[in-house]
Amino acid sequence: MTSLRPADPAFLDALAARLPADSLRPAEERHLEEPRARSRGQAAAVALPRSVGEVAEVVRAAHAAHVGVVPYGGGTGLVGGQVMPDGPAPILLSLERMRAIREVFPDENVLLAEAGVTLADVQAAAHAADRLFPLSLASEGTARIGGNLSTNAGGVNVLRYGNARDLCLGLEAVLPTGEIWHGLTRLRKDNTGYDLRNLLIGAEGTLGVITAAALKLSPIPRHVGTALFSVESPAAAIQLLALAREAVAEGVSAFELIHRQGLDFLAETLPDLRQPFDETPEWCVLIDLGLGAGQAPEEVLTDLFGRALDAGISRDGVIAQSEAQRQALWSVREFIPEANRRIGSVSSHDISVPISRIPAFISAGWAAMSRLDSSLRINCFGHLGDGNLHYNVFPAKGRKRADYDALRGDVKRIIHDLVADYGGSISAEHGIGRFKVDDLERYGDPVKLAAMRAIKQALDPHGIMNPGAVLASA
């Protein structure tokens, strides 16, 4: 890979001359911040294109001049993919002006959105056409769909509807040479060559810039229902999931594991939030159903609870009887990350392991952490149906994150080593960005890493696209 050059005034002037008047500006503070303040970006300028043609103009110029380009969506990524802290000053390429819903095809269950549309606006446009766009995650009001696709975002409905990549039929994108790939098809079957779409999805802007996407919609489920059931153990939670899926298959939209530590953190930091159980169980799961004709969620959930009780899987349960109760149950799950933030973790891990190994993994994690420092508290929760746990380690009550600075590296290393031992992933949904580049080098398959480098070199010979993200710069 050739070495990059900074975007100097001569480059910026020449680029500005090829774009409409206000397309190139100094980067604003919001473009350089990192959500958890763990890093700070730098950029010679921010480009604000209004069309794929203007995006291509920027990338073409950067390719010719060997200048780095950092694509920028909503800025909500948690691994530093949108923030380049050092190296030759790049151009930040923000998609914020490309926010048209180009067209909706309810008959096809397809929506065409530009990369800068927020996830919430995509959801709203689908809803207006009486359809569902099921990708759903905490930052959906700010995150933009281009970023969601570039990072293959996950969230709470992956169990039923898949990750972002599973919700995309076609892409329009600018490749690192500045050429436009017109791949915005709405086809559900198209076996004409290599899967460039899935190569760009999850590449975190290192192989090109997504400018628009054809997104898959679904029918809105006729009947929805939600319950919170205690479970005797993580293994019991897995059995409960199997029972639920035997009954209604894809009708299980979300299945979230919650540990009592999460409920205790809620009580500690958000005391006004009503606790769901009179007696807080060690483990519980939130089950969300979206059902069809002839199915009554309350009945299905009541029947499921009966079976779970008989099988010794669960002892206590709350089944929502109204939309308000449904929202209240969901609040329990949704406020856990906020409670975590208020406590302040020593180290957080977005990991996955094969579903059947979750119980053993959780036990081994506890044992390892208590060997390291028995005062540590663990809040392990998340998308059980996907094998994706947010495994977060916290200070003892009354102590602070900073008190454990010396331990942080060990905590992370021990958890990640354990994940590797269990055949898991050190980044289930957040991606690699810049913060996990070293982890990928350590835990990634070397043959896959070599193939990734070869592909990067082939498509981006000057290494201009999101330098230093995913793969270490040469």
Of residues 384 through 403, those in contact with a copy of itself by CB under 8 A are: 385-388
Is residue 293 a contact residue for a copy of itself (CB under 8 A)?
A: yes
Stretch that binds a copy of itself, among 32-40, 189-197, 224-232, 367-375 (CB under 8 A): 189-197
Is residue 420 a contact residue for a copy of itself (CB under 8 A)?
A: no
Is residue 188 a contact residue for a copy of itself (CB under 8 A)?
A: yes
| Residue 70 vs 440, nearer CB to a copy of itself | 440
Is residue 51 a contact residue for a copy of itself (CB under 8 A)?
A: no
State residue 455 phi and psi, 5-degree precision.
-65, -45
For residues 125-156, one letter each, b for 16 or more C-beta atoms within 10 angstroms of the residue's C-beta and e for the rest, the string is: bbeebebbbbbbbebbeebbbbbbbbbbbbbb
For residue 102, how many C-alpha atoms fall within 13 Å in the half-sphere facing its CB?
A: 19
Is residue 183 a contact residue for a copy of itself (CB under 8 A)?
A: yes
| Residue 342 vs 448, nearer CB to a copy of itself | 448
Is residue 193 a contact residue for a copy of itself (CB under 8 A)?
A: yes
Stretch that binds a copy of itself, among 7-15, 82-90, 362-370, 443-451 (CB under 8 A): 443-451
Is residue 8 a contact residue for a copy of itself (CB under 8 A)?
A: no
User: Considering the complex, what minimum distance in angstroms separates the CB of residue 107 from a copy of itself?
Assistant: 4
| Residue 145 vs 440, nearer CB to a copy of itself | 440
Q: Segment 211-250, which members bind a copy of itself (CB under 8 A)?
A: 218-219, 221-222, 238, 242, 245-250
| Residue 27 vs 254, nearer CB to a copy of itself | 254
Distance CA 426, CA 432 (A): 9
| Residue 199 vs 367, nearer CB to a copy of itself | 199
Q: Segment 263-292, which members bind a copy of itself (CB under 8 A)?
A: 290-292
Is residue 310 a contact residue for a copy of itself (CB under 8 A)?
A: no
Is residue 209 a contact residue for a copy of itself (CB under 8 A)?
A: no
- The site map against a copy of itself for 342-381 (x = CB under 8 A) is ----------xxxxx-------------------------
Is residue 438 a contact residue for a copy of itself (CB under 8 A)?
A: no
Is residue 426 a contact residue for a copy of itself (CB under 8 A)?
A: yes
Decide if 155 contacts 136 (C-beta within 8 A). yes
Is residue 141 a contact residue for a copy of itself (CB under 8 A)?
A: no
| Residue 297 vs 317, nearer CB to a copy of itself | 297
User: Considering the complex, what minimum distance in angstroms separates the CB of residue 360 from a copy of itself?
Assistant: 12
Q: Segment 92-121, which members bind a copy of itself (CB under 8 A)?
A: 105-108, 110
Among 185, 269, 325, 375, contact with a copy of itself (rule: CB under 8 A) = 185
Among 39, 82, 94, 152, contact with a copy of itself (rule: CB under 8 A) = 152
| Residue 65 vs 244, nearer CB to a copy of itself | 244
Q: Segment 153-182, which members bind a copy of itself (CB under 8 A)?
A: 154, 158-159, 162-163, 165-166, 175, 179-182
Three-class SS string for the chain?
CCCCECCCHHHHHHHHHCCCCCCEECCCHHHHECCCCCCECCCCEEECCCCHHHHHHHHHHHHHHCECEEEECCCCCCCCCCCCCCCCCCEEEECCCCCCEEEEEHHHCEEEEECCCEHHHHHHHHHHCCEECCCECCCCCCCEHHHHHHCCCCECCHHHHCCHHHHEEEEEEECCCCCEEEECCCCCCCCCCCCHHHHHCCCCCCCCEEEEEEEECEECCCEEEEEEEEECCHHHHHHHHHHHHHHHHHHEEEEEEEEHHHHHHHHHHCCCCCCCCCCCCCEEEEEEEEECCCCCHHHHHHHHHHHHHHCCCCCCEEECCCHHHHHHHHHHHHCHHHHHHHHCCCEEEEEECCHHHHHHHHHHHHHHHHHHCCCCEEEEEEEHHHCEEEEEEECCCCCCHHHHCCCHHHHHHHHHHHHHHCCCECCCCCCCCCCCHHHHHHHCCHHHHHHHHHHHHHHCCCCCECCCCCCCCC
Q: State both tokens at 202.
A: 């999850």
| Residue 28 vs 190, nearer CB to a copy of itself | 190
Among 117, 286, 300, 380, contact with a copy of itself (rule: CB under 8 A) = 300
| Residue 31 vs 131, nearer CB to a copy of itself | 131
For a copy of itself, how many residues bind (rule: CB under 8 A)?
99
For residue 39, how many C-alpha atoms fall within 13 Å in the half-sphere facing its CB?
A: 19
Q: Determine the longest span between alpha carbons in the chain, in angstroms.
A: 74
Q: Segment 454-473, which members bind a copy of itself (CB under 8 A)?
A: 454-455, 457-459, 470-471
Closest to 63 in 3D by CA, of 16, 2, 8: 2
Is residue 202 a contact residue for a copy of itself (CB under 8 A)?
A: yes
Stretch that binds a copy of itself, among 1-9, 65-73, 310-318, 450-458 (CB under 8 A): 450-458
Is residue 189 a contact residue for a copy of itself (CB under 8 A)?
A: yes
Distance CA 174, CA 164 (A): 19
Among 10, 191, 274, 374, contact with a copy of itself (rule: CB under 8 A) = 191
